[in-house]
Amino acid sequence: MKYTYLGRTGLRVSQLCLGTMNFGNVTSESDAFRIMDAALDAGINFFDTANVYGWQPKGLTEEIIGRWFAQGGDRRERVVLATKIYGDMDDRDGPNKPGGMSAYKVRRHLDASLRRLQTDHVELYQMHHIDRHAPWEEVWGAFETQIQQGKVDYIGSSNFAGWHLVKAQAAAAARHFLGLVSEQHLYNLMQRTPELEVLPAARDLGLGVIPWSPLAGGLLGGNALSAPAGSRSAQRQKDVEQHRAKLEAFAAFCSELGEPADVVALAWLLAQPGITAPIIGPRTIGQLETSLRAVELSLSQESLSRLDSIFPGPGGAAPEAYAW
């Protein structure tokens, strides 16, 4: 495994981040334990989750991770743990149930996450979405308190626009506060819009970028074309047909390279400036082991150009991408 710094911080994390959204929902607890053990053994020290994961019930994924930590063996000490806050969890918040980042929710939801995770702190606490109602004075005040109490080390964001990142950091700077250290964002070969403003803003502000859905929901995983139509959901089948020409060209190129499609998609992300660690969400040990190859695969400039021709980006950063 290779490691990098999380944005402008001194924290070193693996260049692949283990995503846990499937735990308790698609992946059983016993299989989740095996995947986390295998990831740790492979050198992946960066784990990502969220308070809402598990879905039925929400919080189940954090509980599974907490029970894995409780087994001991320095599991907790060896993991850089990231979780998230924003969505509603249950009816106990009353009128404050809808998603948001009020000081009230930060305090309550962080304490609940820590209980489920069976830990007294998280290294990275992420806002799962922008809250357009809570002022930054309130949000940063709430997070400063949690950091001062030792419950959180760093704050990250997810699904922010470029101008949200700038506003957040300007408000933090006015308080002489570190502010954000990372942005978790939808970014892959098929979704390159972030190259216009989000990625340039993150690089300028010194934020690490953590791409989620690096395989475009499985479309870049190599089996989207080979799976029988009847085995796919209606939406997946529609997506495959809409992008069939690109997916076929991508599959042919990966075959030329002699590399699995998901490995190439991950390696492309790692070749992009400012990327910290794509989030992988293996459902099996085999999928995890395949993903590890991406860290070692160095794509040539010719290969990167070929991928650009198959999956064209927006043309660079704004405004040059669409103006002079």
Q: Is 286 helix (H, G, I), strand (E, B) or coil?
A: helix
* Residue position matching structure tokens 């029988």: 228
Other Cβ atoms less than 10 A from the Cβ of 83: the count is: 29
What are 322's two structure tokens? Answer: 């669409």
Among candidate residues 3, 5, 53, 125, the one labeled active-site is: 53
Closest C-alpha to 127, from 163, 102, 95 = 102
Give DSSP secondary structure letters for 114-151: HHHHT-S-EEEEEESS--SSS-HHHHHHHHHHHHHTTS
Geometric angle at alpha carbon 200, from 197 and 206, rounded to 5° = 130
Strand 152-158 to strand 122-127: parallel, antiparallel, or no bridges (unpaired)? Answer: parallel
On whether the CB atoms of residues 122 and 151 are closer than 8 A, the answer is yes
Length of the chain equals 324
Q: Active-site residue 53, yes or no? A: yes
* Residue position matching structure tokens 């992300």: 269
What are 19's two structure tokens? Answer: 């995503």
User: Which amino acids are annotated catalytic?
Assistant: 53
